[in-house]
C-alpha cells in the first residue's frame, strides 16, 4: 500500500505533462481537441443506461466526465506501475512501461467501445499519440523515482 501514494503523485505529474503536450500540439498545429473522450463517455452512458440530460446540460456532463476519465486513466497508470514494478528501473525503461500502460489504458477501452480503431490511424495520428504518452511516461517515471 505504501507504493500507492508515489504512484498517484507520478500519475498526476504524468497526466499534467500529457495535457500540456496535447494543448501545445493544438496550438502548434491549430487543430481542435479530440472528440474521443466525449464519445467514450456517451458510449459508456448508453451501455449503462445513464441519462446525461439534454442539450447544453448533457454536453457539460459529457465534457466533465471525459476529463475525469482522463485523470483516472493517468492516476491509474501511476498506481499500476507502482504496484507492478517492485524494483528500481532505469528511467528509460520506466518511461517505456508507463507510456505503454497509459496508451493501452486509453486506447483499448475506446477501441472496445467502437469509438476509435487504431488500425485506421494515420502515421501523424500514431506519432502524436505516442509523443503525448511518452511525455506522460517520462514525467511520471521521473516523479515516481523522486518521491519513492
pLDDT category at 148 given cuts 50, 70, 90 is confident
d(CA 66, CA 72): 10
pLDDT at 43: 97
Domain ranges of the chain: 4-30+72-147
Question: Which residues touch 137 (CB under 8 Å, ≥6 apart)?
Answer: 14, 94, 95, 96, 97, 98, 99, 100, 102
pLDDT at 74: 97
pLDDT digits (tens, 9 = 90+) for 12-51: 999 999 999 999 999 999 999 999 999 999 999 999 999 9
Supply 72's cell numbers. Answer: 483516472
1, pLDDT greater than 80: no
DSSP letter, residue 117: -
56, pLDDT greater than 90: yes
The backbone region for 49, taken as left when phi is positive above 0, alpha when psi lies in -120 to 50, beta otherwise, is: left
pLDDT at 118: 94
d(CA 14, CA 143): 8
pLDDT digits (tens, 9 = 90+) for 77-129: 999 999 999 889 999 999 999 999 999 999 999 999 999 999 999 999 999 99
Could you tell me if 44 and 113 are in contact, meaning their C-beta atoms sit under 8 angstroms apart?
yes
Amino acid at each position: 500500500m505504501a507504493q500507492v501514494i508515489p504512484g498517484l503523485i507520478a500519475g498526476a505529474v504524468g497526466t499534467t505533462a500529457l495535457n500540456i503536450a496535447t494543448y501545445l500540439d493544438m496550438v502548434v498545429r491549430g487543430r481542435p481537441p479530440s472528440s474521443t473522450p466525449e464519445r467514450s463517455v456517451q458510449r459508456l452512458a448508453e451501455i449503462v443506461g445513464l441519462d446525461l440530460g439534454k442539450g447544453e446540460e448533457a454536453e457539460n456532463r459529457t465534457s466533465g466526465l471525459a476529463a475525469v476519465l482522463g485523470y483516472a486513466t493517468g492516476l491509474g497508470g501511476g498506481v499500476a506501475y507502482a504496484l507492478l514494478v517492485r524494483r528500481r528501473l532505469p528511467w528509460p525503461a520506466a518511461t517505456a512501461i508507463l507510456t505503454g500502460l497509459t496508451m493501452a489504458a486509453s486506447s483499448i477501452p475506446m477501441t472496445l467501445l467502437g469509438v476509435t480503431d487504431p488500425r485506421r490511424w494515420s502515421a501523424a495520428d500514431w506519432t502524436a499519440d505516442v509523443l503525448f504518452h511518452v511525455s506522460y511516461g517520462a514525467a511520471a517515471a521521473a516523479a515516481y523515482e523522486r518521491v519513492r
